[in-house]
Amino acid sequence: MGGVFLVSDPTGSSLQMPLNLLDNAPFANYLIPGIILLLVLGVFPLIVLYGLWHRKSWSWLGSLTVSLALLIWISVEVIMIGYHPELPLQLIYGILGLVLLVLTLMPSVQNNFKA
């Protein structure tokens, strides 16, 4: 939903995210980050969910990709705008990315999705 809000309101005000957070980023507003967030961490995970639900052979790789994408997103965000303890979602999503990665890499999970 964050991607939807950032695309529909690139100023970030609907999410109470001031534009000055982007001072060290290559973006003037939140439109491009919102599009990336919406597609890479919104639409793509839904496609992977479909694959996991229907036990498609590609879904394991999709799950690994989503985990890595989330970790990369949070890492780049922290590098560009810094870590903000008042924004607990940075920590929550970082931990979620690690948990997803560990679960995806478990041998039992990998064996379950072998082609």
Per-residue confidence (pLDDT) for residue 86, from 0 to 100:
79
Could you read off the pLDDT of 41-56 as tens digits, one per residue?
A: 999 999 999 999 998 9
**List of residues 6+ apart from 54 with CB closer than 8 A:** none
Query: What angle (nearest 5°) sits at the alpha carbon of residue 86, between those of residues 8 and 20?
Result: 50
For residues 44 and 53, what is the distance between their CA atoms, to the nearest angstrom? Answer: 14
pTM of the model: 0.86
Comparing CA positions, the residue from 39, 16, 36, 15 lying closest to residue 27 is 36
Q: Is the pLDDT of residue 114 over 80?
A: no
Domain boundaries, the chain: 2-112
Average pLDDT over residues 19-34: 91
Could you read off the pLDDT of 57-111 as tens digits, one per residue?
A: 899 999 999 999 999 999 998 988 888 887 788 999 999 999 999 999 999 998 8
For residues 46 and 28, what is the distance between their CA atoms, to the nearest angstrom? Answer: 29
Per-residue confidence (pLDDT) for residue 21, from 0 to 100:
86
Per-residue confidence (pLDDT) for residue 93, from 0 to 100:
93
Per-residue confidence (pLDDT) for residue 85, from 0 to 100:
84
Q: Is the pLDDT of residue 115 over 80?
A: no
Task: Read off the tokens for 108.
Answer: 């039992």
